[in-house]
Amino acid sequence: MMLLSNMTDSAAAAGVPLSVDFSSPEDYFVFIFQILFATTTVLVAGTVVIGISATKALRLQNRFIFMLNTSICDTLVGFSVYYLGLFDVQDGYPSRNGTYGVFPSLLGVNILTFLFAQFDRYFAVCYPFVYSRFITRQVVIGLNIYCWVYNATHLLIRNMLPVSKAIQLYVFSIVFFQLIVLTKVLMTMKLYVVAKYQVEREPPGPERESKKESLKIIIFVVISFLLLWCPSFVNIAVKFFTGRGLTFRNEATNLLAILARFNAVCTPSVYIWRSPALREATVRTVWGRVCPRCRRRCGSCPKEDPRKASR
């Protein structure tokens, strides 16, 4: 109790109060939850980042480059929760102790990355010859960099405009992202059909299993992303277009924002769960160093086949 009270006093003195005042048991629950949530996100997503970055066989595969990009974004989301969840912050319009939209803009990076990843898997399975010729590793890296450049440019322009114009641009971006979400839904349905019929017609072997694995991962990840983010999307749209919608005291108590940020834990967890090669890499490069027993178990794991590097 004394420690939390001192933290509250010091934070208030610094100019940004904590998200709760510890006047009720719920406040303690919210504060502890945000700490655990942020730490879990950084550990899980950060593990994927280290595992892919430290494993050459994975870095050479296009699908893992997309995973790396989203996991970097998710790790930053985890770090952002240490501020958004622990301090009295309202990052939007109107803003209070906000970050000029920097942390919320991470959503845009993930949305575009998932969209490009869906098209990448579709062309890899349906048009393998065209894919292997034109969709090179450099092209995929360029697409991932574009996701960051686009969102950084959009954020910079929005912060340089007057508030009224910035709000209009923000509303336009919400509508634009809704169109992307619709495209993602259609692509998910298309990928499901591809995974069910196209891949099954191929002869059994490592190549077919790799395609099935990557298709299942992207479908599962996109569905979970849409389910977790749609409530927040809908609420933002309703507030801006009708003036109604749910309003919360700050980001720490915003249940819809918390649900949306949970995607930063769900996505890398799915990557590790559904990809044996990534699971082996994370055990060998991260958890094997922490737990020697995990390292010994990983010693008998099959290594990644470099021949699949182009996919």
Using one digit for the tens of pLDDT, what is the confidence trace for 101-128? 888 888 889 888 998 998 998 888 788 8
Residue-wise pLDDT for 68-95, tens only, equals 999 999 999 999 999 999 999 988 777 7
Separation between Cα atoms, residue 263 and residue 269, nearest integer Å: 10
DSSP H or E run through 276: helix 276-282
Instruction: Tell me which of 19-33, 180-194, 253-267 is least confident.
Output: 180-194
Separation between Cα atoms, residue 310 and residue 62, nearest integer Å: 7
DSSP E strand stretches across 148-216: none
Task: Tell me how many degrees the CA angle 260-265-270 measures, rounded to the nearest 5.
Answer: 115
- φ and ψ of 257, to 5 deg: -65, -40
Place of tokens 């801006």: 240
What tokens does 178 get? 């809704």
Contact assessment for residue 84 and residue 260, using Cβ atoms and an 8 Å cutoff: no
